[in-house]
Amino acid sequence: MKTKSDSITLVDVARLAGVSLKTASRALNDSPELRPETGARVLKAMEQLGYQPNELARGLKAKRSAAIAMIVPNLADPFTAAAVQAVQDVARETGHAVILASSGGDAALEEAELQIMLRRQIDGVVLMAASSGKSNLKLLLARNVPIVVFDEPLRGEEVDTITVTNRKSARGATEHLLAHGYKRILAVGARPHLYTCSERVAGYRSAVKSAGAEPIELLVQHESDLTPELLSPFLSGPNRVEAIFTLNWVCTMRVLRALNAAKKKILTDFPLVSFDDFELAEMIPPGLTVVRQPAHELGHQAAKVLFERMSETKRQPARKIVLGTEFIVRGSCGCKPKAWE
């Protein structure tokens, strides 16, 4: 009586429905080779018993887990959060669970997480990589687990990849600042070993050099190194810059705080453009001009591609999808949009 609810198995269902185990199984997987009548009877028995299939058992036999892994560096980043949401939504449609882990941008941690995922027999991985190296994926690759890499591509790996036009977008943003007449533009980025960062830096450089100006870069190993003290030499004195271009959301946050701490005003003291949009960008006076990445779309595409890959019969070539960005002019670049006139 007490442990009954613990252990309603397909066998119980089959018994109640007066069919064999296999027939019950067929009903569970709504196999076509089953008389609708029989199926209905089994379904009723399931209902009656409150039967819940055991995914572990199904997966063990079928060598799939109906779960995908998603590994991201930082959930606090709204770009990441939006992408995670998108992946979850797609996963739900296909009845897959999402096992989420944060790497904190640490490649070793990421690898550890991936290994744990492997042991769980995950059916696929959406990875926002902590490094551009492929070494972390060896295990997965060897096991033929589909992977979609997203935001941060992998060097020389034949893996599905969803990215944005990092270089071009960064170049465009820089050109916009240059067009306003600013020559000494500081680019602030983190984790320069990442493709995203290096591409954005490259775009920035090419724009600056085309304009005959000198690149001024503050690139730190990790965003957390970005202290007000580090920034202050660029905010006053002989090395004062004329404008700032932050290369991702966390950098934007850090720079804004540093400016605040130094009692510097955006635009009047330092015109600024941010790579990455966020909820309140328009509320920071005079409104932050940003490069907006299609976060939700990126996540959606990543998941779509992953599920396609998971259900494909023979191996297709890797897909490389590159999405565009939106340049959203608010006030911080020097433009005067209506809202702030």
Partner DNA sequence: ATGAAAGCGCTAACAT
Partner DNA sequence: ATGTTAGCGCTTTCAT
Question: What's the closest the beta carbon of residue 74 comes to a second copy, in angstroms?
Answer: 9
321 binds, among a second copy, DNA, none (CB under 5 to 8 A by kind): none
The phi, psi pair for 292, rounded to 5°, reads: -95, 125
DSSP strands (E only) in the chain: 67-72, 97-102, 124-127, 147-150, 160-164, 185-190, 216-220, 243-246, 272-275, 289-292, 320-323, 326-328
Q: Contact at 8 Å (CB) between 82 and 295? A: yes
Under rule CB under 7 A, residue 323 binds DNA: no
Question: What's the closest the beta carbon of residue 59 comes to a second copy, in angstroms?
Answer: 5
CA 92 to CA 81: how far, in whole Å?
16
Query: How many residues interact with DNA (rule CB under 7 A)?
Result: 28
Chain residues 36-95 in contact with DNA, contact rule CB under 7 A: 37-39, 51, 53-54, 57-58, 60-63
CA 319 to CA 195: how far, in whole Å?
18
CA 236 to CA 68: how far, in whole Å?
49
> Roughly what angle, to the nearest 10 degrees, separates helices 36-49 and 21-28?
90
- The single residue among 35, 283, 314, 317 that binds a second copy, judged by CB under 8 A, is 283
Q: Contact at 8 Å (CB) between 41 and 17? A: yes
Under rule CB under 8 A, residue 143 binds a second copy: yes
The gap between the terminal CA atoms of the chain, to the nearest Å, is: 74
Chain residues 191-230 in contact with a second copy, contact rule CB under 8 A: none
Question: What's the closest the beta carbon of residue 90 comes to DNA, in angstroms?
Answer: 22
Quick note: the x/- pattern for a second copy over 118-137, rule CB under 8 A, is xxxx----------------
| H helix or E strand, kind and range, residue 170 | helix 166-179
List residues binding DNA (CB under 7 A).
7, 9-11, 19-23, 25-26, 28-29, 33-35, 37-39, 51, 53-54, 57-58, 60-63
Binding site for a second copy (CB under 8 A): 5-6, 50, 52-57, 59-60, 65-67, 75-76, 78, 81-82, 84-85, 88, 92, 95, 97-102, 113, 115-121, 139, 142-144, 253, 256-257, 260, 279-280, 282-285, 339
